[in-house]
Structure 1
Amino acid sequence: MSEIKEQIIESKPLREQVADIVRGMILRGEIKAGEQISERTIGQMLHVSTTPVKEAFRSLQAEGLIYTRPRRGSFVSEISIDNMLEIAFMRSALEGVVAYYAAKNATDSQLVEMSRILDVVYPLLSRKDEKSLEEIQQYNVSFHSIIRQTCNNNYLVHQIETLRTIDHSFRKAARMKYIEEPIPAHQEHKEILAAISSHNSSLSEKLMVSHIRRVALFVADCAKKIQ
């Protein structure tokens, strides 16, 4: 196991910080699949007690990133493209629920802000440089974030953010941070916004699920080609 570079901060629950740090190490390959991972060792490296580490391990086990063998301890799961695809499909279902309620709950100011984001992204679509692709990605994250804000359900948002973090970490580990199709994604965002603006909950959910899954399948296909 490599040295932990991240630092614990006071503004976020310890269990979440520990989970974030260990999750990142697993997905970056710093802790290898099949390697044993000790609560005591992680606690010592992060200078925290084993209590938040135990809680973090439970979260990571629920995500499928680690598993426990009776009387032997915890081990890192094998992370495959198929695993990541399954996670993306799980996320699509939750994002679909959020989009469903966004069509009921979105305020005028939220709709205006989502429209503004799409307007800002449009001229960036013709550019292929990394800076523009990063800007598009950041705006896309903001677009989805606003939709999530409309549901007023912190638990649901937390679950989605956890799955999105895993997906992003996987892409980063695979050096696929900006692999996406900006133009199709932008068109899909426009269609999703139109459905939300017209208060069509069923269509909003359907379009969101389709969007997340299409992107996931595209990324999975790219990942298989570069392996």
Structure 2
Amino acid sequence: MEKNDISPIMTYSTISDIVYKWIRNAIVSSAFKPGEWITQEDITERLHVSRTPVRDAFKRLQSEGLLVVKPHQGAIVVQLSLEKLIEVYEIRMLLEGAAAKHACENIANKNINELEKINTKMSAQRSDPQQFMNCNRNFHYSLYSFSKREYLISTIFGLWDLIEPYRLIYFSHDGKTDGAIEEHIHIIKALKKHHPEEVRQAVIEHLNDVVTTLSSNGAELVNIEAPIRRKRQRAEPTAK
């Protein structure tokens, strides 16, 4: 097969992946908000691409649960009910507790020190919810990576992407960042003891605090009942 026979396929694949990652990042970073409509025409205009890679990106994101595609209309960024949001957190408690327990069995003291540095950086980013969230994600990803459970980690972060916009809103409220930092300190203390079950429980309690708060006043905290928006602002999503 000649080189020229495969380069167009490779080029298309690259464009398709770029479009997919751009839209996905816009959803996860809350540039496209839950309940917001987006159209193929809007994306093609913004990215200067054809409709085909945009259509494929919509399909991929729908399969991941991030979009609901409406034929001949566009797509809606998935908007969770409060019950569904709490359900995701309950699943996270099970999965992340297991990941943290396995991580404790493998982690070294120097790695725990790195987690402390990340948590210190989080503390310095309290006034910037997006940067705070980036540090928070880094903390948990770094911890769970030591579990050496590839499928478990992949499942966990698929759930994270689904609820990231709500987490951003949640941590924008006064006092919520302080609680997360303190709970990370408890996780770190358990890691230093090298006690897997204690680490598992610390992570579960960390997430359960969010479930308890959402159960009492979640609609107010994360704007869960906001109406679906058919029009959107032209602000560009922040690149990662």
Normalising TM by the smaller chain, what interval?
0.5 to 0.7
Indicate which of 156, 160, 165 corresponds to 1:164: 160
Correspondence 1:24-35 to 2 at 5 A: 24=30, 26-27=32-33, 29-31=35-37
Q: For the residues of structure 2 that align with 1:164 and 1:93, how far apart are their CA atoms?
A: 14
Q: For the residues of structure 2 that align with 1:211 and 1:59, how far apart are their CA atoms?
A: 32
C-alpha RMSD over aligned residues: 4.1
- TM-score when scaled to structure 1? 0.64
Q: Does 1:17 align with 2:22?
A: yes
Task: Look up the equivalent residue of 1:201 and give its one-letter code.
Answer: P
Unaligned 5+ segments in structure 2 are 1-13, 224-240
Task: Look up the equivalent residue of 1:200 and give its one-letter code.
Answer: H
Indicate which of 171, 188, 200 corresponds to 1:193: 188
Q: Does 1:146 align with 2:151?
A: no
- TM-score when scaled to structure 2? 0.61
Displacement after TM superposition at 1:72 (Å): 6.5
Q: For the residues of structure 2 that align with 1:195 and 1:20, how far apart are their CA atoms?
A: 33
Cα-to-partner distance string for 1:165-196 (whole Å, 9 max, x where unaligned): 44331244x57524554454344323322333
Alignment: residue pair count:
206
Q: Decide whether the 8 Å contact of 1:188 with 1:211 is kept in 2.
A: yes
CA gap 1:116/1:165 in 2 versus in 1, 3 angstroms = same
Q: Does 1:218 align with 2:213?
A: yes
Q: Which runs of at least 4 in structure 1 moved beyond 6 Å after TM superposition? A: 71-74, 132-136
Displacement after TM superposition at 1:133 (Å): 7.5
Q: Does 1:112 align with 2:113?
A: yes
CA gap 1:58/1:89 in 2 versus in 1, 3 angstroms = farther
Matched with 1:34 is none
Cα-to-partner distance string for 1:114-168 (whole Å, 9 max, x where unaligned): 23455x479x69xxx9638887666544432320332345554444344334433
Q: For the residues of structure 2 that align with 1:112 and 1:11, how far apart are their CA atoms?
A: 40
Identity of aligned residues (%): 22
Task: Look up the equivalent residue of 1:189 and give its one-letter code.
Answer: H
Unaligned 5+ segments in structure 1 are 1-9, 32-36
Displacement after TM superposition at 1:59 (Å): 4.2
Q: For the residues of structure 2 that align with 1:46 and 1:97, how far apart are their CA atoms?
A: 40
Matched with 1:95 is 96
Task: Look up the equivalent residue of 2:146 and give its one-letter code.
Answer: T
Q: Decide whether the 8 Å contact of 2:97 with 2:204 is kept in 1.
A: yes
Q: Does 1:203 align with 2:212?
A: no
Q: For the residues of structure 1 that align with 2:191 and 2:46, how far apart are their CA atoms?
A: 46
Q: Secondary structure at the match of 2:127?
A: helix
